[in-house]
Structure 1
Amino acid sequence: MLSKTLLATSLAVMAGVATAGLAEGQTAAREPVSGTLRLDPSQGPQRFDMSISAGGDIEADDLGRDCAGEIADAPSLRLHYGSGGDMLRVFAMSNTDTSLVIQTPSGDWLCNDDAMGGLDPILSLSSPQEGEYNIWVGRVSSFWGGGDSEPVELGILNIDSNAEMPRYLPTYATLRLTSGFQPSELDVRAHANGAVRPPAWDNRCGAVSSETPALNLEFDGNGSGLMVRANGSDDLTLMVRTPNGDFVCNDELEAADFVDLPSALSGAYTIWVGPQVDRARSALIPVSLTLTAN
């Protein structure tokens, strides 16, 4: 049953809520292991999916009733959420049992283990607060093998609660990563669409792409390298605009293209993916962007 003290937050989907203080060793202020996401609800319905590292050595039960699983000290992901959103939904998907723990901008703790009859957790907030959400994905130890963390797909939805959700939602969010992010090969789900050529697209890249980037990335690599790889079912072109304005392209590896930046500058990267095949240029082609620091 939902705690009465938190019904004002209008959670639409959740199994439990906790308002206890930080557990011993829990540090919300630490750098999140899988980055920081900035999302502006004023830009309309959006969806962002990425792989993250789940689990750790802290019992989430210590945060209060209905919190479950083992979580890490640092958050899995930090979300900076703008004002004016109608519904914010966070969910995790994996092949086994996971849990969600979220600290809201007001300091409340929201938890969910199993939602809608399955093992995947979901938390939905209507009229969500503007501000910083720290998100942990836990593992329920009785279902996991050994090891400190497990890969899980984390989804962030900014939607209109009264409208039917379309099959495809764009994202205008920006992901910030520092060197040493986990998992070491971090996947972001995106779509390639070649209906419109973006103004910055270099003709030498060989294909067209949507004006909307597949990913806006801020990277602070401290001199490390960065590899961006695009994988999909169709022949793709990958283009990356670096912080100094240079464009780096690859369209020679059919369904898997990569751009390797051995000494990646710190700053803003814009990443586009476009299909090479004519029949695919008016369709949305699911792709996976894999980011690796080396």
Structure 2
Amino acid sequence: MNRVRWAALGLIAALLLVAGMLAGHAPVTAQSATPTPVAEEEADAAEIVATDAVTATVAHAVTDTVTSAYVSLDLAAGFPLDPFLVSVNGGGSVDASQFGEGCTGFVNDAPTVSLNWEGETDFVEAFFYSASDPVMVVQTPAGDYLCSDDANEMLLDPVIEMAQPANGRYNIWVGSYTPEQLIPGLLVLTTRSEINLGTFDLASLVQRAPIPEDVLEPEEVAPRRAEITAGRAGAASMAEAEAVLANEDIIDGVKRNVTAAGTVPAFELPADDTFCAGFIGEEPDFSFDLEAEGDRLRVYFEAQADSTLVVQLPDGTYLCNDDAVTGDNLNPLVEIPAPAGGRYNVFVGRVQQDEPVTGELFVVESSTQMPADLDPSTDQE
């Protein structure tokens, strides 16, 4: 029996050799049951690659199973808006302890913010700036959960630092200790070591002169804003406010001397799709009635200090301007294409409330005429 078995095995080997030669391949040689060192290294490398691929696939699947976040961000290393601020509401009804040991409070099903990160950096720090006692949970691209309650005994806001963050999606939940509690605040993302929860000063990010409290009081602002109407313009004390301008007057150009000394914040005006800056008077500085429709109208103001313009059209809408050329010319310009006939009310505003601004107001039919240049550096001297 043994001879027959070995003969059969020899016949099979011969057939395999012939089949390999006919197929144009080298003959298959027998392999040792004990792997060589080279074979072991190749097998280990293949196993590592396979393990990494499986891990990456699992991590991607883990983060992708999370419900879409309320806010999604794409940031890369070196992003210019650092720190990056997101205004959000924290809180929810899902017990955060399910994410792991040290996770407390309650969060929403969906992440508050999803951060898609790309690039290399030493760290990305996330903290929540609020007036309450929130909690925070971060899910890394690998599916791990990082949790924070208080930065320390004095700072009740949470902070989480992700050292050498991997590329991928970071899901961030901002929560509260009480279920369904609403905690408004700012989620801050930064890679700068000098920016941290203990030193963060929101007021230092945007520096501007404070607006006097008497201007901001609702009982002060509302009546003044109500008085800025087309009907009020008819009672303007200036004689030129009763001017009736014919087309030939506009072509030749109209010039008036105006001093801006108002205290009504122009940004309170109901202007659509535009921001009105500066402080204007309760009454127009100049009003005129246009007899007929024109091709184009320009209203501008020339002074030696930063000023603004507000023009109320016959239909009651407002056009506003701060700088004729942003960053180059601080004198304001309002352009009115195809102006309709009717009453136009012009308000000249000042940016700083400590001093009035005196200059020349121009009304002209032109598509090219510009106010004299007022360089920003000149105004600051």
The alignment's TM-score, normalised by the length of structure 1, stands at 0.46
More helix by share: 2
Question: Which structure is higher in RCO with an 8 Å CA cutoff and minimum separation 6?
Answer: 1
Larger radius of gyration: 2
TM-score, normalised via structure 2 length:
0.36
More strand by share: 1
